[in-house]
Chains A and B, each alone.
Chain A
Amino acid sequence: MLPLAHFEYLAPTEAVEASRLLASPDARLVAGGTDLLVSMKHRLFEPRLLVSARRIAEMQGIVPAAGWLSIGASCTLRDVSRHGIVQQRLPALAAACRTVATPTIQAMATLGGNLMLDTRCMYYNQPAGWRASLGYCLKREGSVCHVAPKGRGCYATQAADTVPALWLLGAEAEFVSVSGTRRIRVSDLYREDGMNWLTVRPDEVLTRIHVPLEDRSVAHRKLRTRQAIDYAQVLVAVAAPAQRGEPWSAVVSSVAPRPILVESETAEGLAELSFRGSQPLSTHLASAPWRKKMVRVEVARAVDALLRSHAGSG
């Protein structure tokens, strides 16, 4: 087993205290640790201090409040997926939680951790010796992006399973830092840069995820090689129009540093627009052209699922 480097571990009880500790570049917040510790073993980063989310009061519990469901960022994916209100009113979120890795990881990994998941790439998420043999990459220790050697950026992909569904559900993320509290729409949380993919600062602590209980009709689909363990090759969520005149919308992820929003006047047009709007790169072992085709298939299947459920309920 790969050993971890030595680090200090602190478990504050208040988010603002965590934020103070996280102001140091040598510090990282750890929630479930299911991704962070693997990356640390791969020596992608070697923080001297891990700040635990486990005892921070603001990050706990799932509570309905005034038409919203407020989910503590420290709640595990299993807790979220098994919560009665999530199952009844936000089935797409429950489904997305259940497609993360494996049941054992869902029992450790948190919803907050999933939203804040590092971007991924086959040239980056590798052990230290392997990356040395490669000559490293732009995202870590190197100067070249092996996905796009002539490009100027890093194309590591956003791979968090719950993001497309939360995006279309209109979820908002609440951050606490020494400079105060702010709420950011999930749709505004990510940037088109694999190295610097979040619009928040490292010392801002994600405390809660607020999801409106509007009964929006959202379908989640994750295409992966195996039905457990694997990250998505293509991740989509599709929302039917809430009322006449609104467009159909899709959020396509796991193809770029930022999830892609696609809107279509018609249900039939959404898959083709999504296909045209996505440019997967070779960040996976599965090829980019096949993954691009799969965007169309998965969006079409999500649309079908929604149309069928509408037909069923209507």
Chain B
Amino acid sequence: MSEGSNENRPGWAVYPTHAGEPATGGVLGRGERKIDGRGRITGTAVFTDDIQLPRMLHAKFVRSTEAHARILGVDLSAALEIPGVVGYALGEELPKKYGVIPVAQDETAMAIGKVRYIGEPVVCIAALDEETALRAVRAVKVSYERIDAVLTIEDALDPRKPHIHEGSRKPSNILRRVFQEYGDVDRGFADADIIVEDTYSYPGSTHVPLEAHVAVANPEPDGKLTLWSSTQNPHYVHRDVAHVLGMREQDIRLIKPAIGAGYGGKCDPFCTDILAAYLARKLGRPVKIALEREEVFYTHRGRHPTRMWLKMGFKKDGSITAVDFKAWADGGAYASYGVVTSYYLGVFMPLPYTLENYRFESHRLYTNKPPCGPKRGHGAIQPRLALEMHIDRAAQRLGLNPAELRRANCIEPDTETCNGLKVTSVGMKQCIDAVVQASGYEQRRGTLGFGRGLGLAASAYMCGALHPVYQNELSQSSVQLKVDRSGEVTLFSGTADCGQGSIHMLAAVCAERLGIEPSDVRVIEGDTALTPVDLGSYSSRVTFMAGNACIAASDRVRAKLAEAVAAKLGVSAESLVFRGGKVYVADAQERGVSFVDAVWLAEERFGPIGEVGGYKPHKIGSRFRRQSVGPSPAYSFTAQVAEVAVDVETGILTVDKIWVAHDCGRAINRTIVEGQIEGCVYMGVGEALYEEQRYRGGLVSAPSLLEYKVPTIHETPEIETFIVETHDPNGPFGAKEAGEGPQLSTVPAIANALHDAVGIWFTRPPFTPESVLTALARAERSKS
């Protein structure tokens, strides 16, 4: 047992958490529909926008039409004369700054004194209905005095440009610079036989959840408040809304209804949450704020457009002698999770290949554009493109097989990387083998003729952050179980299922331990009045952390049931099996009781049955104290092969097929794991082919789903999925994550396939027809 273990501490998850054990409850590893799936399919699930309350008002925002400007005046007179307008709020009324990352709280609910991006909320107006609120918003006149706008990475690094946030002591618009060095990088390069060096550019993109951000607030007569929010992170919204409104957290009940996806776009507390809560209290009536699609593009928090420089040294045998990496991330007007992004850009580069000498420097910058934040694969997507293309480029120059080069460099299980990441289970080679074999990569690569190609890429990702975003020693996830004489098991957790399947995961983990069916477990989640805290759906943490908390709580219920049944049957508690809705003696199925009877026996013996379980990760001692971002209790691994075709007359790139293998530790529900992997690939294909949040100056070029292109089913390749199970020693039943990691290697696999197809390295996604055609023409010219 390693240091800081939770063993013997009541109420905490205990290791090992049944990792590697056979699944005795009969639930694990099945492929089945989510217990909450029917509600989504039939339209009966209640989303935030479905909530209607008596006397409810609708509020809309007046948004900045300037990228960077002082607000000279706000004229509300015409708006307030419109019949049906009930009230309004100005930025000055909510001066407290907030943000999930404590060291970078730079945001107010609406602009105060100046605006920092086009689309920033300036005024919020509540009316009897949405159309009236919209008319009122259009009648507001805001006068501005323009300030020189900071729109590009160059602008942000230019000390002559005005500061977007006054009071910054940094010479230009830098939110955070990170520099880390491990080993001896210069010597590593001196030892190298070849050096591969190039620059890459990764575009910004946005999440496109089908549901826009919505909040509904209901003021209560005793001064308390209920707030429904379409958030991935109820806990952080809860904290920040209380902070900005000057309320006690316990006086706000935050409820997360069904969520129409987030992908990281609903991780921050938003103006919708704060203004709905504030106006509800100010006006004494329920208030709903539902964003339009256009506003979701301005709210953004999407992927950072990132410019990168990467230099790698290789020996002739393909081993990596050194990596030097620099990245500049264009972060938009506010910090959001940008401090974390600045680390994620660099800290995962020593995975999954053995590396002793590593240096990186990253800058997260402010610009006058909608704020960037976490999008699926947060910060790790961009550098992965550079790294995986560099591996292929080295293989080409060294005359090595790219798959073999990757396999030879894979880290082994139970290693520590040069930057102090402690890696437990590693299924990297199994993943590479699975996709290489299934795709015929080694036989077919280079043989498909001009215009067709195969490409391979590999990647690794975290399973939750070791350290919480605000300093505390409390549980990062907690689960409470109520079991009563009806036999119904009710599971309460502060988790926020945003479509990834965490409701089903909790039910399945609990059912596996109690020998019942997932559908026998009623999951109540994301309601601060009912559910114990979970930090939220980000950093791919939920299965790992809430799953472990759920095991802890379930095992405590199981222990009581087992003790009571054992006493009744006159056997030892250890000899009992929980399976199929029964509790029985392992070798004698007829000697047992039903689950309901077991609950009766336990309640007779112990009184009402209710148990809690919490999880926080091991304190993993790192050699590097400053490495606060990056360490995770476990890492997932992915490999994929893409097969592409290029129409050489139009430049149109088609992704025909993706083979993807993912080491998720252990699949709790195979159907959900496959769905998450496919979703990751789909999103990666979008970023490879089309997706980019483009700007005209500071104005989002096309804030609509007509012009911001995400793939339809026609452009989605056939996806063949392989689940690799490595039974992580610290994961719940050995499980890790599947919701983000598989996206990392999609774009680089496509880029490497594109090279195989046409012999050109494309270093800037999306690979648009025009960029492909231009590169083909240039290559043709240089040949002749």
Which residues of A121-144 have CB atoms within 8 Å of chain B's CB atoms?
122, 125-130, 132-134
Question: Once bound together, how far apart are the Cα atoms of A129 and B137, in whole Å?
Answer: 10
A residues less than 8 Å from B292 (CB atoms): 1-2, 127
Say how far B606's CB is from chain A's closest CB, in angstroms. Answer: 52
Interface residues of B in 270-304 (CB under 8 A from A): 290, 292-294
**Hey, what's the 0/1 contact readout for A195-223 against B, CB within 8 Å counting as 1?**
00000000000000000000000000001
Contact of A226 with B699 in the complex, beta carbons under 8 Å:
no
Contact B770 A286 (CB under 8 A): yes
User: Which residue of A5, A6, A130, A132 has the most chain B CB atoms within 10 A of its CB atom?
Assistant: A130
* B702 part of interface (Cβ distance < 8 Å): yes
Report how far A229 CA is from B712 CA in the complex, Å. 9
Among the stretches B476-484, B557-565, B582-590, B703-711, the one at the interface with A is B703-711
Set A1, A2, A228: member contacting B712, Cβ < 8 A: A228
Can you list, as one digit per residue, whether each of B690-731 has a CB less than 8 Å from chain A (1) or not (0)?
Answer: 100010100111111011010111110000000000000000
User: Would you call A290 and B294 a contact (CB within 8 A)?
Assistant: no
Query: Do A226 and B294 touch across chains, with their CB atoms under 8 A apart?
Result: no
Contact B131 A3 (CB under 8 A): yes
Residue pair A226, B709 in contact (C-beta under 8 Å): yes
Given A2-B292, A226-B712, A122-B650 contact (CB < 8 Å): no
CA distance A293 to B293 in the complex (A): 33
B59 to chain A, nearest CB (A): 13
Q: Assess whether B131 is in contact with A122, with CB atoms less than 8 Å apart.
A: no
Instruction: Give the CA-CA distance A127 to B694 in the complex, in Å.
Output: 16
Tell me whether B736 is interfacial, beta carbon within 8 Å: no
Find the B residue at minimum CB distance from A128.
Answer: B138
Contact A3 B704 (CB under 8 A): no
Minimum distance in angstroms from B431 CB to a CB of chain A: 30
Within the assembled complex, what's the spacing in Å between the Cα atoms of A98 and B322? 55
**Residues of B with C-beta under 8 A to A293:** 773
A285 in the interface (beta carbon within 8 A) = yes
Nearest CB in chain A: distance from B287 CB, A: 17
> Which residues on the B side are within 8 Å of A231 (C-beta)?
706
Decide if A130 touches B294 in the complex (CB within 8 Å).
yes
Query: A248-277: which residues lie under 8 A (CB-CB) from chain B?
Result: none
Please pick, from A130, A226, A297, the residue contacting B715 in the complex, using a CB distance under 8 A: A226
Q: Which residues of A contact B715 (CB under 8 A)?
A: 226-227
Contact B711 A287, beta carbon cutoff 8 Å:
no
Question: B770 to A285, Cβ gap below 8 A?
Answer: no
Determine how close the nearest CB of chain A comes to the CB of B509; give it in whole angstroms: 37
Contact A130–B699 (Cβ < 8 Å)? yes
Which residues on A sit within 8 Å (CB–CB) of B290?
A: 1
Contact-residue bracket for chain B: 35 or more
Expressed in whole angstroms, the minimum distance between the Cβ of B61 and any Cβ of chain A is 9
B650 touches A297 (CB 8 A): yes
Per-residue 0/1 for A94-128: is the Cβ within 8 Å of any B Cβ (1 yes, 0 no)? 00000000000000000000000000001001111
Are A133's CB and B699's CB within 8 A? Answer: yes
Q: Is B556 an interface residue (CB 8 A)?
A: no
Contact between B711 and A122, CB atoms less than 8 A apart? no
Residues from chain B with a CB closer than 8 A to the CB of A294 are 650
Please give the distance in Å from A256's CB to the nearest CB on chain B.
20
A26 lies within 8 A of chain B by Cβ: no
Known contacts: A3-B134, A293-B773, A297-B649. The answer to whether A230 contacts B706 by CB under 8 A is yes
Whether the pair A285, B294 counts as a contact (CB closer than 8 A) is no
In the complex, how many angstroms separate the beta carbon of A48 from the nearest chain B beta carbon? 14
Contacts of A2 in B (CB 8 A): 292-293
A87 at the interface (CB under 8 A from B): no
The answer to the question of B319 belonging to the interface, with a C-beta cut-off of 8 Å to chain A, is no
Measured CA separation A261–B566 after assembly (Å): 89
Q: Which residue of A lies closest to B711 (CB)?
A: A226
Task: Report if A129-B709 is in contact (Cβ < 8 Å); known contacts: A285-B701, A287-B770.
Answer: no
Contact of B490 with A by CB under 8 A = no
Contact with A along B530-553 (1 / 0, CB 8 A): 000000000000000000000000
Q: Assess whether A134 is in contact with B699, with CB atoms less than 8 Å apart.
A: yes
**How far apart are the CA atoms of A130 and B297 in the complex, in Å?**
11
- Chain A residues near B11 (CB-CB < 8 A): none
- Quick check: is A225 within 8 A (CB to CB) of the other chain? yes
* A3 contacts B130, C-beta separation under 8 Å: yes
| B694 & A285 in contact (Cβ 8 Å cutoff) | yes
Tell me the smallest distance from the CB of A9 to a CB of chain B, in Å: 16
Query: Taking the complex as formed, is B769 at the interface, i.e. its CB lies under 8 A from any CB of chain A?
Result: yes
Docked complex: A20-72 residues within 8 A CB-CB of B: none
Known A-B contacts A226-B714, A230-B706, A297-B650; the reply to A133 vs B65 at CB < 8 A is: yes
What is the bound-complex CA distance between A3 and B135, given in angstroms? 10
| Chain A interfacial residues counted at CB < 8 A | 32
Known contacts A3-B134, A294-B650; A230/B770 CB under 8 A? no
Q: Can you list, as one digit per residue, whether each of B43-77 has a CB less than 8 Å from chain A (1) or not (0)?
A: 00000000000000000000111100000000000
Residues of B within 8 A of A134 (CB): 696, 699
In the assembled complex, the CB of B141 is this many whole angstroms from the nearest CB of chain A, namely 11
Q: Does B753 contact A (CB under 8 A)?
A: no
The interface residues of chain A lying within 8 Å CB-to-CB of B135 are 5
**Nearest CB of A to B665, in Å:** 36
Contact A133 B118, beta carbon cutoff 8 Å? yes
CA A125 – CA B702 in complex, angstroms?
9
Smallest CB gap from A300: residue in B: B649
Q: Is the CB of B702 within 8 A of A230?
A: no
B709 near A225: Cβ-Cβ < 8 Å:
yes
Contacts of A223 in B (CB 8 A): 650
From residue A25, how far is it (CB to closest CB) to chain B in Å? 21
A5 neighbours in B (Cβ, 8 Å): 131, 135
Assembled-state Cα–Cα distance A291/B704 (Å): 22
Q: In the bound complex, how far is the Cα of B133 from the Cα of A304, in angstroms?
A: 56
Asked whether, in the complex, the Cβ of A130 is within 8 Å of the Cβ of B650, the reply is: no
The digit string for B138-164, where 1 denotes a CB below 8 A from any CB of A, is 100000000000000000000000000
Decide yes or no: A129 and B65 within 8 Å by CB, A122-B702, A228-B712 being known contacts: yes
Nearest Cβ distance between residue B139 and chain A, in whole angstroms? Answer: 12
A290 near B773: Cβ-Cβ < 8 Å: yes
Which residues of the other chain, A, contact B134 by a CB distance below 8 angstroms?
A: 3
Docked-complex contact A130 and B703, CB < 8 angstroms: yes
Q: Is the CB of A129 within 8 A of B702?
A: no
Whole-angstrom CA separation of A3 from B136 in the bound complex: 13
Contact flag A129-B63 (CB < 8 Å), given A225-B709, A230-B709: yes
CA distance A125 to B712 in the complex (A): 21
* A229→B118 contact, CB < 8 A: no
Supposing A3-B130, A290-B770 touch, asked if A127 and B704 sit within 8 A by C-beta, the answer is yes
Assembly CA distance A224 to B503 (angstroms):
39
Chain A contacts for B768, CB-based, 8 A: 286
Closest residue of chain B to A289 (Cβ to Cβ) is B770
Which residues in A have their C-beta under 8 angstroms from that of B138?
Answer: 128
Cα-based distance from A227 to B713 in the complex (angstroms): 9
CB distance from A139 to the nearest CB of B (A): 17
A122, B65: Cα distance in complex, Å:
18
Complex-state Cα separation, A226 to B118, whole angstroms: 29
Hey, which chain A residues are within 8 Å of B130, CB to CB? 3
CB-CB under 8 A from A286, the residues of chain B are 768-770
Q: Which of B131, B690, B696, B703 interacts with A127 by CB under 8 Å?
A: B703
Q: How far is the CA of A129 from the CA of B706 in the complex (A)?
A: 17
- Chain B residues, Cβ within 8 Å of A128: 138
A285 proximity list for chain B (CB < 8 A)? 694, 701-702, 707
User: Smallest CB-CB separation from B701: which chain A residue?
Assistant: A285
Given the known interface contacts A3-B134, A227-B714, the answer about A126 and B770 at a Cβ–Cβ threshold of 8 Å is no
Report A302 CB to chain B, min CB distance, Å.
13
Among A2, A3, A133, A289, residue most surrounded by chain B Cβ atoms (within 10 Å): A133
**With A and B bound together, what is the CA distance between A289 and B777 in angstroms?**
14
| A-B residue pairs, 10 tightest by C-beta | A227-B714, A133-B65, A290-B770, A3-B131, A127-B294, A228-B712, A3-B130, A297-B649, A133-B118, A226-B712
11 more A-B residue pairs beyond the given contacts A227-B714, A289-B770, A290-B769, with a C-beta to C-beta distance below 8 A? A122-B701, A125-B706, A126-B704, A133-B64, A223-B650, A225-B690, A227-B712, A228-B712, A229-B706, A286-B768, A297-B650
> Can you list 6 contacts pairing A with B, beta carbon distance less than 8 Å?
A122-B701, A226-B690, A231-B706, A285-B707, A286-B770, A293-B773
